[in-house]
Structure 1
Amino acid sequence: MEVLGDRLKVMVKTFRRESHRVLQSKRTTIHGADGMMMVLQLAMAEVNKRHGTEFKVALSDVLMVWKHLLLDKLHLPPPSFARLENYDLILEAYESFLKRSNTVDLVDIFSMYKQLRVMASDPEEPFSPIQLFEFLSGNMEVSELPDPSVPSTPSSKDRSCSSQVKMAVRRVFCSYLSLLVNSKNDMAMALTLDVPSRSLGRQAFTDIKHAAHNNNTSLFLAVTSFVRAIQLGGKGYAPAESDPLRKHVKGLSDFVQFLDNLEEILGEIPDPSVCGARLVTAIRAALVKGRSSGDAVYAAADETAMELKEKICQLHQIQKQSVNGSRMGISPARPKAYAVNHATAYGGWDSVKVLMAMLDEEALSPPCQNKADLLSEDQPVLSGAEGTCVLTLFRSPEVPTGCSPEPLRNRVQSRLDLLKPKARDRAIRSQFACTYKDEELPLNRLLEFPSTSQIPTCMHPAPKLKTTTAAAKECCFDVEETASAKPTSEGPNMEPRGVQQGAALGPRSGNVQNTGAGLSNKKRSRTQMQGKDPNKRKQADCDKHGGSENEPPEKKRPSGVAVKMPSKSVGKASSKKKLIAGQGKLTSFFRV
């Protein structure tokens, strides 16, 4: 009687031979018992999150649903205890994950076996559903299949390598090789992204997961498309600066570069045995980099690499013998039409078939007896930063909920402060601020000029100053001395030299105008300067206008005509209309 291990191998070989009849991809990978339970844990956590709870699930619930899942898919009677109310949603999420990652489980292969059996040598039913249930549940020991948690060589027993670390290291090796065969395997992507450490923790994995969900692609394709756009894309095609993956460019580039190196080995070396050995060596070198020889991970990596090399060589020899036996006495098949001139698409295909056969045997390994070590978050650390638990990676980091812990009174007050209008900063205003019609005057200017309804040449005439500054007095004294240069030719109405007549010129400001004393002195100066020397008259005119050229020009009068002196009231009116320095040009410019 054949043992169960050999029957499982026959079932898987039949599936590989006839998989093109039921599957669209030849690179579909198989989940064993451990992989099925890890996918189930993720499906249950996702359903719990949909119903408002956290992305977590208890180990007891996983074991209960695991038994229901196996019995349901194998069409066996359900257990005596009741199943969870969300079981249908969990089963849907489980099947969706398998389809999205281009994978199948052992129960699916068993269900498709009757349809795929076409050769006479294939047994009608290799084993019963109950036997498969016992095997997947871990209740049946299969001695013929290698147990990755048990050392195979006597020399490895002396090494400080626990079964838990060895199981995690072997899973990483197989995950890297699985990505070469099936790049859509999200489970393999999660186990290899940050092993060895590339500074890609939970936040980086969450950003990749969101990018893959938004683009409806796998995790690996989301990473590679982003890195290719960074490396090859120009300004118009490069990802935006706000892309969350921009924060992890270095780590993602290192990961893609390492996978590119493995792909290069796979495509350039035609011999599957040599190619597989080179691939395993490259993965082992990445895992042990920076570790001492006495480290547990170092010892587990050495032992696993040696075992995988031997297995790849054995599988290659078996495939060579089967191909040579099938071709004996038969002419080689003609190449298919779609395969002509597409040699690059089949580069390394022989090596891929050997890797697929090795991964199939790994899927047929007995399940892990310690379910807590398989699903717990306290697994051994391989990357040096975080645990290798898949549930921890797929769970998004904690984000703020938006609820403020402050009391209601403080929140209301902060809202009122935001709605309260802010006072405008006082800008530095020049003496020409009266011409800025689009701005409101500050409060102090409004108080100083209450009569804003009257708009003369200047928008807001400045009030008169009662006192005269020292600079203004000095300027007036100079003007009086100039006006009384020749005492012998002065008229009888002139006052003696040296007597101060008051401020002849006021300060040049839009806020200050000349006083009454200054106006009377101007009248005397104008009367005295008539009929004098032209040079002195020109100088007096300059003094009269305060040395400014911005005064409105007076009409020319014929010589010999007496100038009518304005009265006191007229002088006040003219003083109001007097423009400040530079005001004439600005006013005429804005009026136009």
Structure 2
Amino acid sequence: MQALGHALTQMVKTFRQECPQLQQSERTTVHGADAMLLVLQLAMADVSKQKSGEFKVALSDVLMVWKHLLLHKLHLQPPGAARLENYDLILEAYEGFLKRTNTVDLVDIFSGCKELRGDSEEVVSPVQLFEFLTGNTGDSPASSMPSTPSSKSRPCSSQVKVAVRRVFCSYLSLLINTKNDLALALTLDVPSRSLGRQTFTDLKHAAQNSSTSLFLALTSFVRAIQLGGKGYAPAESDPLRKHVKGLSSFVQFLDNLEEILGETPDPSVCGTKLVSAIRAALVKGCSGEEAVRAAAEETAAELKDRLCQLYRIQKATSLAGGTGISPARPKAYAVNHATAYGGRETVKLLMALLDEEALAPPCANKAELLSEDQPVLNGSEGTCVLTLFRSPEVSTGSSPEPLKKRVQSRLDLLKLKVGPRSIRSQFACTYRDQEPPLNRVLHFPSTSQAPTCVHPAPKPKTAALEVLASDKPSSFECHTGTRVLAPRSGNAPLRGVPGPDNAKMTKGIKRKQADVDVENVQRDNEPPEKMKQRTKTKAKKKLIAGQATLSSFFRV
């Protein structure tokens, strides 16, 4: 195992020495076995979305294609072997992601070194590299078998440590290669900046629209907000406007790391400061998680020691003949040429550290790496890279509401709507009551209930009916016992309710009715001449229409 590790290290060093002949950029970063598996999962999910419309893929399918991909790229598979379904599209998506993010995998490094040195000078055989990438080195054959994600209820401390170490290396990788979208995805919301899946989806769409990397789309938006002014600021309808605070915090943290990188000339001291700044951010953002804090402290101490060792090795090698690692040289006319020159040695040191991390043995449990059951580092629900790159589902409004809400809304509709009660003053007796609806006061009998008998002659019109026909409001009962409706005041006594006032009113009405009956009898007994004279007198006293009004007007 040690011999294989030494051979892989020599292969990567050869790649760094001959990097200008193999790559256009000198800041290309290397993907290890775990990162290659994550990129393959994203490529398969992308192809699945093109075919079926769903950005998801099964764990068993990823492991099967992973083995097929390694055999194909290492030329270990027979030429006539049957290919998997959509394998060509998956391979194209995988290679496109590596090219777009300015990264390479270990198989590409092996192929490049083989072309440069020839077949006779192979440091690592294809079979050895295949066994290393799949984890079948012979030390633990059962370690390559994936376990079920649901079997783990809580992440162990080693799993948290691996996740924390991956975050440290992702931050350092962004300082070297800002096009590394995978590194940005692992660090955007760690520690928590309230940047969830929706933020990452909006950022991904912005990068696709501008055909740039995620980091460039992010920094362009934040710089336009901070320095663009009113004329160049993004529109209010920009989806990233909702996440300005969290995105600005992330860019500010990376700016602080860039300042440390450019202002500290000693590479070992600069590397120590960078690791300390990342550790402080993780500890502050994950203050409630003791496991995360302990893992951050332990990982920071290990990385600091390793950076110091690598710097001593590079310094001794440079005295002997140079390290062969040459990051991008700044131009003499560039504005920040002094800062770039100051951080060149540190960039060499960080690249050597990240190359060692890429050569680390792959994760034994592939389900922990690819599934959603991962350690929680940002204070929210645990998620994996596949879930982060998957756009959240947009609600169409067609799904029904919960039964409890539907029942409550139906009960609210069935409730009687009681109108506002009017407040009456103590002088309510002076106001006339509001007329109630007819269906509560007047009960007219139907034609079927009306009496069928008809009187042979109409009854004579009595004085009581004359009074009822007059405009003056009155309230009484006729001698026939029929009740007559009349307007009443608010505090007037009700009909049919016993009381002293009602008894007095009934007696007065009966007395008046008796007087009217006596007058009618006397008139009937008068001679005809006297009745004619009385009729003429009434005709003389009768006024024409409007005469009373005119008389009262000219009476003054």
Q: Smaller-chain TM-score range?
A: 0.5 to 0.7
Task: Please identify which structure carries the higher helix content.
Answer: 2
- Paired residue secondary structure (2:234): coil
- Residues 317-342 of structure 1: CA deviation (Å, up to 9, x unaligned): 11111111127xxxxxxxx9954774
**Shift of residue 378, structure 1, vs aligned partner:** 1.3
What is the letter of the counterpart of residue 190 of structure 1?
A: A
Residue pairs, 1:374-389, within 5 angstroms: 374-389=369-384
Aligned counterpart, 1:28: 28
- Separation in 2, partners of 1:194, 1:162: 21
Residue pairs, 1:208-219, within 5 angstroms: 208-219=203-214
**1:189 maps onto 2:184 in alignment:** yes
**1:391 maps onto 2:374 in alignment:** no
**Shift of residue 30, structure 1, vs aligned partner:** 0.3
What is the letter of the counterpart of residue 25 of structure 1?
A: S
Question: Does the Cα contact within 8 Å between 2:286 and 2:379 map onto a contact in 1?
Answer: no
**1:363 maps onto 2:362 in alignment:** no
Aligned counterpart, 2:271: 276
- Residues 17-76 of structure 1: CA deviation (Å, up to 9, x unaligned): 110112111110000000000000000001101112421110000000000100000011
Aligned counterpart, 2:522: none
Aligned counterpart, 2:134: 137
- Residues 355-378 of structure 1: CA deviation (Å, up to 9, x unaligned): 000000000000001000000011
Residue pairs, 1:4-403, within 5 angstroms: 4-77=4-77, 83-117=83-117, 124-140=121-137, 162-289=157-284, 291=286, 295-326=290-321, 339=332, 342-400=337-395
- Separation in 2, partners of 1:79, 1:280: 47
**Shift of residue 405, structure 1, vs aligned partner:** 7.5
Question: Does the Cα contact within 8 Å between 1:161 and 1:299 map onto a contact in 2?
Answer: no
What is the letter of the counterpart of residue 134 of structure 1?
A: E
- Separation in 2, partners of 1:141, 1:269: 45
**Shift of residue 400, structure 1, vs aligned partner:** 3.4
Mark the CA change 1:123 to 1:321 in structure 2 (over 3 Å): closer, same or farther: farther
Mark the CA change 1:33 to 1:337 in structure 2 (over 3 Å): closer, same or farther: closer
- Paired residue secondary structure (2:104): strand
Find runs of 4+ consecutive structure 1 residues off by over 6 angstroms: 402-406, 498-501
What is the letter of the counterpart of residue 95 of structure 2?
A: E
TM-score by length of 1: 0.61
**Shift of residue 385, structure 1, vs aligned partner:** 1.1
Mark the CA change 1:240 to 1:117 in structure 2 (over 3 Å): closer, same or farther: same
- Separation in 2, partners of 1:390, 1:164: 16
**Shift of residue 293, structure 1, vs aligned partner:** 8.7
- Paired residue secondary structure (1:287): helix
- Paired residue secondary structure (2:56): coil
**Shift of residue 114, structure 1, vs aligned partner:** 2.6
Mark the CA change 1:6 to 1:286 in structure 2 (over 3 Å): closer, same or farther: same
Question: Does the Cα contact within 8 Å between 2:191 and 2:285 map onto a contact in 1?
Answer: no
**Shift of residue 162, structure 1, vs aligned partner:** 1.5
Unaligned runs of 5+ residues in structure 1 are: 144-159, 328-335, 407-497, 504-592
- Separation in 2, partners of 1:288, 1:105: 32
Question: Does the Cα contact within 8 Å between 1:141 and 1:366 map onto a contact in 2?
Answer: no
- Paired residue secondary structure (2:374): coil
Higher relative contact order (Cα pairs below 8 Å, separated by 6+ residues): 2
- Residues 80-116 of structure 1: CA deviation (Å, up to 9, x unaligned): 9954311110000000100111000000000000333
Question: Does the Cα contact within 8 Å between 1:135 and 1:141 map onto a contact in 2?
Answer: no
**Shift of residue 77, structure 1, vs aligned partner:** 1.6
**Shift of residue 399, structure 1, vs aligned partner:** 1.1
Aligned counterpart, 2:489: none
Question: Does the Cα contact within 8 Å between 1:68 and 1:78 map onto a contact in 2?
Answer: no
Question: Does the Cα contact within 8 Å between 1:30 and 1:106 map onto a contact in 2?
Answer: yes
Mark the CA change 1:296 to 1:227 in structure 2 (over 3 Å): closer, same or farther: same
**Shift of residue 117, structure 1, vs aligned partner:** 3.9
220-229 vs 336-345, which moves further: 336-345
- Separation in 2, partners of 1:369, 1:499: 113
- Separation in 1, partners of 2:2, 2:399: 67
- Paired residue secondary structure (1:368): coil
- Paired residue secondary structure (2:379): coil
**Shift of residue 216, structure 1, vs aligned partner:** 0.5
Question: Does the Cα contact within 8 Å between 1:8 and 1:364 map onto a contact in 2?
Answer: yes
- Residues 532-579 of structure 1: CA deviation (Å, up to 9, x unaligned): xxxxxxxxxxxxxxxxxxxxxxxxxxxxxxxxxxxxxxxxxxxxxxxx
- Residues 130-173 of structure 1: CA deviation (Å, up to 9, x unaligned): 11001101001689xxxxxxxxxxxxxxxx96211111000000
What is the letter of the counterpart of residue 75 of structure 1?
A: H
59-68 vs 47-56, which moves further: 47-56
**Shift of residue 258, structure 1, vs aligned partner:** 0.4
Question: Does the Cα contact within 8 Å between 2:330 and 2:340 map onto a contact in 1?
Answer: no
Identical-pair percentage: 74
Aligned counterpart, 1:583: none
Question: Does the Cα contact within 8 Å between 1:14 and 1:116 map onto a contact in 2?
Answer: no
TM-score by length of 2: 0.65
Unaligned runs of 5+ residues in structure 2 are: 141-154, 323-328, 402-547
252-261 vs 395-404, which moves further: 395-404
Mark the CA change 1:337 to 1:235 in structure 2 (over 3 Å): closer, same or farther: closer
